[in-house]
Amino acid sequence: MDTHSTSHLSDSAEAHAHAPHAEEHKHPTWSTYWKVALILFFITVGEVWAYYIPSFVASRAFVPSLLTMSAAKFIIVVMFYMHLKYDHRLFRVLFTGPLLIAGLTLISLLFLFGHLIIKL
């Protein structure tokens, strides 16, 4: 596969196709999409691998590391595949606003029902 020509093809076409639109910027190339898929694959393998190590599951690092890996995958997909890294900031606001509210609601409910406890 001619990676160089496809990348060039992608860049020029997207620049041409998107020029008149205020909200659209240059999207990643095909090679970036493949690299992102590879990273997502390896993070998923890491998550499942961690699940099958009993000593790690029993350790304090298990939950934070799984949540970190999951958050990394979430951010990568949103930034690169949903193009939020490249698109207009209004779209970021429309997405992260409700996401923050939702996240705070989730954390508050977990506190309320005793799943998260702060020891003073």
Distance CA 50, CA 46 (A): 6
| Residue closer to other proteins (CB basis): 22 or 120 | 22
| Residue closer to other proteins (CB basis): 113 or 120 | 113
**CB-based contacts of 86, cutoff 8 Å, min separation 6:** 24, 25, 26, 27, 28
Question: Closest approach of Cβ 117 to other proteins, in Å?
Answer: 14
Q: Tokens for 68?
A: 């970190």
**CB-based contacts of 32, cutoff 8 Å, min separation 6:** 80
Question: Closest approach of Cβ 23 to other proteins, in Å?
Answer: 4
Distance CA 86, CA 77 (A): 13
Question: Closest approach of Cβ 9 to other proteins, in Å?
Answer: 5
Q: Counting contacts by CB under 8 A, is residue 34 touching other proteins?
A: yes
Are 39 and 76 in contact, with CB atoms under 8 Å apart? yes
Binding site for other proteins (CB under 8 A): 1-3, 5-6, 9-10, 12-14, 17, 21-23, 27, 30, 33-34, 36-37, 40-41, 44, 47-48, 50-51, 57, 63, 66-67, 69-70, 73-74, 77-78, 81-82, 88, 90-91, 94-95, 97-99, 101-103, 105-106, 109-110, 113, 115
